[in-house]
């Protein structure tokens, strides 16, 4: 089967656009050449090219086509339009079933002809997040000026025009190390000749070379590379011939917070941070050059050290300037920053977070001083938004405020308030850590709860199609902070008793459990029996009921419970609800009295212990219930002809159901 190869060679393609461009190229070719049974083998993306290799049939399959036209009774003009659309004549159609039908044989189309007819138009519709126009007509758009197109079918050129470029078999290698054009005859030839000209076409191989090169360069100076998958992907899209190098950081800049130093390195220069054997930041940085210089890359390293020195000098300027003003003196500036038009300013928000953080700290039984520190952290947590450092690096908000709170603490304990500020945005995602400790947790909870309360208050709630203010993430953050810090907290008090908002958080918890492989039916069984706004207590109950359901004892008792529930469902519809009051005091059989004794024996104490977090007594209660329950179903005729006995026995089942429902609605548990 023939090999189809296509390369689109242009000026530099932004790294962030390359992957999606490769995906789009595959979709376009697969759709345009579907008639050739195209099998895409590989897609290549890089700084100056996207390409595709595929296997195709030599031609499309010949086939019979049938198109239904207008009704026989339609005006002649309708038939004429139909024939014109399909480039057919009156002799090509027949009347059948009241309609005109066009039947004709569509011959096979050679692969080259189909590529020529279908691909240029499809490629002309290629879309980029940002693109530019150029050329004489100014109508063609591409991410950067398109320079060359290679289009080959089994080595033969399929020539067509794409904007100002005509497809051929000529491409180019490395811009500096091997300038000039060369011809290719296949995908393999293209890859081999590019490698000879200092271009690694395969993005996966290129990334592996970046990783191994950085690791080797760092190891040569006794260091390791700090993990950063996103930066690795970006650098892979910036270089064609990766050469990993290591430079030095002036010791004076090591006094800056590592987040400041490393963010400046990453954002401005795409440099990698290095770590020593203890995992601490090292006074070195790694980077990937796109060329190998004859001087052993000394000039390249020196140039990058000089650039980094200038960047870090700017960062130190902001650091020194910001430290001249304590955070509390910046608070008035927050009153001039609008957080949201319907909600108010950042200053108003800081005041709410301060109040909430103090209330949560008190609810967690923190002493007076700890509660005051939580309030200070809440009050100051947004102050760094008006600092020069956050103006330069928005990613540092919260983090840099924590450092400033530690360094300059006239009224608060910097060692407590600083870390609480630094972590109050956490967790920012599912893999991010939660704040550790009750003071930090109080501030982070206050931040997220204020966001949820205020956006729900003004009606800016998530919809099925969007969540522009990341309220689902905020709710999940509340859940994780509470559960991972083992915090028992009544949420309603802090949600202004907003039932809709509480239900929103509960649904997020349900989704979280389901994504973790836990059973949502058990969760539903727990929350349906009574309102419980303590998430930690809910989860402990879920764990306990899961333990019950997964035990042999629990499964056997649940069989009896379901049997009782099914009988009651039928009989309640006949007589109305059956209750404990209908149980007779004089039992006809020992099995009836044994079941009543088992139901009453320790049920109240067991449920009370369960609600207080001690779940073993209820398990013991179930253990004592199994035998009399089995015997009751085996020996007792529930639907007795004696109406008094019948209602008494159904009352026993109603008592069983009510006892079980003190823990969970077991009817909701599947299986």
Q: pLDDT tier at 662 (50, 70, 90 boundaries)? A: confident
User: pLDDT digit string (tens) for 327-375?
Assistant: 999 999 999 999 999 999 999 999 999 999 999 999 999 999 999 999 9
User: pLDDT digit string (tens) for 153-166?
Assistant: 999 999 999 999 99
Contacts of 339-344 with CB under 8 Å at 24 or more apart are 340/454, 340/455, 340/458, 340/460, 342/458, 342/460, 343/454, 343/455, 343/457, 343/458
Q: Judge contact between 233 and 284, C-beta under 8 A.
A: no
Q: What is the mean pLDDT of residues 287-303?
A: 95
Question: What is the helix (H) or strand (E) element at residue 317, kind and residue range?
Answer: helix 298-322
Q: pLDDT tier at 135 (50, 70, 90 boundaries)? A: low
Query: What stretches of 436-584 adopt beta strand conformation (E)?
Result: none
Residue 570 is predicted with a pLDDT of 92
Q: Of how many residues is the chain composed?
A: 671
Say how far residue 417 (Cα) sits from the centre of its chain: 30
Residue 369, SS3? helix
Closest by CA to 243, choosing from 201, 284, 195, 291, is: 291
Q: pLDDT tier at 126 (50, 70, 90 boundaries)? A: very high
User: pLDDT digit string (tens) for 103-124?
Assistant: 877 789 999 999 999 999 999 9
The architecture (CATH level 2) of 551-668 comes to Orthogonal Bundle (1.10)
* This model's pTM is above 0.85: no
Q: With a cut of 90, say whether residue 200 has pLDDT above it.
A: yes
Residue 136 is predicted with a pLDDT of 65
User: pLDDT digit string (tens) for 431-482?
Assistant: 899 999 999 999 999 999 999 999 999 999 998 889 999 999 999 999 999 9
Residue 33, SS3? coil
Mean of the per-residue pLDDT values for the chain? 93
Class of domain 63-106: alpha beta
Q: What is the mean pLDDT of residues 412-427?
A: 97
Can you read off the two tokens belonging to residue 398?
A: 């919260």
Q: With a cut of 90, say whether residue 612 has pLDDT above it.
A: no
Q: Judge contact between 143 and 17, C-beta under 8 A.
A: yes
Q: pLDDT tier at 196 (50, 70, 90 boundaries)? A: very high
Contacts of 577-581 with CB under 8 Å at 24 or more apart are 577/654, 578/647, 578/650, 578/651, 578/653, 578/654, 579/651, 579/654, 580/651, 580/654, 580/655, 580/658, 581/651
User: pLDDT digit string (tens) for 627-653?
Assistant: 899 999 999 999 999 988 999 999 999
Q: Which residue has the tokens 């649940």?
A: 558
Instruction: Say if residue 384 is exposed, middle or buried (CB neighbours under 10 Å; 0-12, 13-18, 19+).
Output: buried
% pLDDT > 70, the chain: 99
Q: With a cut of 90, say whether residue 531 has pLDDT above it.
A: no
Number of continuous H segments (helices) and E segments (strands) in the chain = 24, 20
Alpha helices in 99-202 (DSSP H): 111-124, 187-196
Closest by CA to 154, choosing from 30, 58, 61, 87, is: 58
Class of domain 341-518: mainly alpha
User: pLDDT digit string (tens) for 555-574?
Assistant: 888 888 899 999 999 998 88
Q: With a cut of 70, say whether residue 249 has pLDDT above it.
A: yes
Q: Which residues of 473-498 are buried (b: 16+ CB within 10 A; e: fewer)?
A: bbbbbbbbbbbebebebebeebbeee
The domains of the chain are located at 3-59+111-196, 63-106, 221-322, 341-518, 551-668
Comparing 671 with 275, the larger pLDDT belongs to 275
């Amino acid at each position: 089967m023939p090999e189809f190869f296509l390369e689109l060679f242009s000026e530099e393609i932004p790294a962030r656009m390359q992957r999606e461009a490769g995906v789009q190229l595959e979709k376009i070719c697969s759709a345009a050449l579907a008639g050739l049974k195209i099998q895409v083998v590989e897609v290549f993306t890089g700084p100056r090219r996207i390409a595709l290799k595929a296997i195709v049939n030599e031609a499309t399959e010949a086939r019979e086509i049938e198109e239904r036209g207008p009704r026989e009774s339609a005006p002649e003009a309708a038939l004429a339009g139909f024939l014109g659309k399909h480039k057919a004549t009156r002799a090509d159609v027949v009347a059948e079933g009241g309609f005109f039908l066009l039947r004709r044989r569509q011959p096979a189309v050679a692969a080259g002809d189909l590529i020529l007819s279908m691909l240029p138009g499809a490629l002309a519709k290629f879309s980029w997040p940002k693109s530019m126009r150029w050329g004489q007509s100014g109508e063609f758009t591409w991410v950067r000026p398109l320079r060359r197109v290679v289009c080959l079918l089994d080595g033969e050129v399929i020539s067509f025009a794409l904007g100002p470029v005509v497809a051929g078999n000529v491409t180019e290698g490395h811009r500096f190390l091997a300038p000039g054009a060369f011809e290719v005859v296949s995908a393999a030839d293209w890859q081999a000749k590019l490698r000879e000209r200092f271009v690694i076409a395969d993005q996966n191989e290129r990334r592996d070379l970046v990783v191994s090169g950085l690791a080797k360069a760092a190891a040569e100076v006794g260091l390791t590379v700090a993990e950063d998958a996103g930066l690795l992907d970006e650098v892979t899209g910036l270089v064609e011939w990766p050469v990993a190098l290591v430079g030095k950081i002036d010791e004076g800049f090591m006094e800056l917070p590592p987040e400041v130093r490393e963010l400046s390195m990453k954002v401005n220069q795409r440099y990698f941070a290095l770590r020593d054997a203890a995992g601490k930041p090292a006074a070195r940085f790694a980077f990937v050059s796109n060329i190998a210089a004859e001087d052993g890359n000394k000039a390249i390293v020196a140039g990058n050290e000089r650039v980094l020195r200038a960047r870090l000098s700017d960062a130190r300027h902001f650091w020194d300037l910001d430290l001249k003003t304590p955070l509390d003196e910046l608070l008035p500036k927050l009153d001039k920053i609008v957080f949201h038009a319907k909600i108010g300013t950042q200053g108003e928000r800081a005041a709410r977070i301060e109040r909430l953080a103090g209330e949560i700290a008190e609810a967690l039984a923190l002493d007076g001083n700890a509660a005051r520190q939580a309030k200070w952290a809440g009050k100051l947590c947004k102050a760094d938004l008006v600092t020069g450092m956050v103006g330069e690096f928005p990613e540092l908000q919260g983090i840099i405020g924590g450092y400033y709170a530690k360094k300059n603490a006239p009224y608060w304990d910097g060692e407590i308030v600083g870390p609480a500020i630094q972590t109050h945005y956490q967790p920012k995602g599912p893999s991010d850590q939660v704040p550790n400790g009750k003071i930090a947790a109080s501030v982070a909870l206050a931040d997220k709860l204020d966001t949820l309360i205020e956006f729900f208050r003004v009606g800016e709630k998530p919809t099925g199609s969007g969540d522009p203010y990341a309220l689902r993430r905020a709710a999940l953050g509340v859940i994780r902070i509470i559960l991972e810090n083992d915090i028992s907290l009544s949420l309603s008090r802090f949600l202004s008793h907003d039932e809709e908002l509480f239900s929103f958080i509960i649904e997020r918890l349900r989704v979280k459990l389901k994504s973790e492989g836990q059973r949502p039916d058990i969760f539903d069984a727990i929350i349906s029996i009574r309102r419980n706004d303590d998430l930690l207590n809910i989860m402990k109950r879920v764990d306990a009921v899961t333990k019950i359901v997964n035990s042999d004892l629990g499964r056997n008792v649940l069989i009896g419970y379901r049997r009782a529930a099914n009988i009651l469902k039928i009989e309640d519809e006949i007589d109305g609800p059956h209750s404990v009051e209908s149980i007779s005091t004089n039992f006809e059989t020992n099995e009836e009295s044994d079941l009543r004794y088992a139901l009453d024996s320790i049920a109240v104490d067991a449920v009370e212990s369960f609600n207080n977090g001690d779940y073993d007594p209820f398990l013991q209660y179930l253990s004592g219930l199994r035998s009399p329950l089995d015997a009751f179903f085996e020996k007792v005729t529930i639907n007795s002809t004696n109406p008094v006995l019948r209602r008494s026995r159904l009352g026993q089942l109603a008592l069983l159901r009510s006892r079980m429902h003190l823990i969970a609605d077991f009817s909701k548990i599947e299986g």
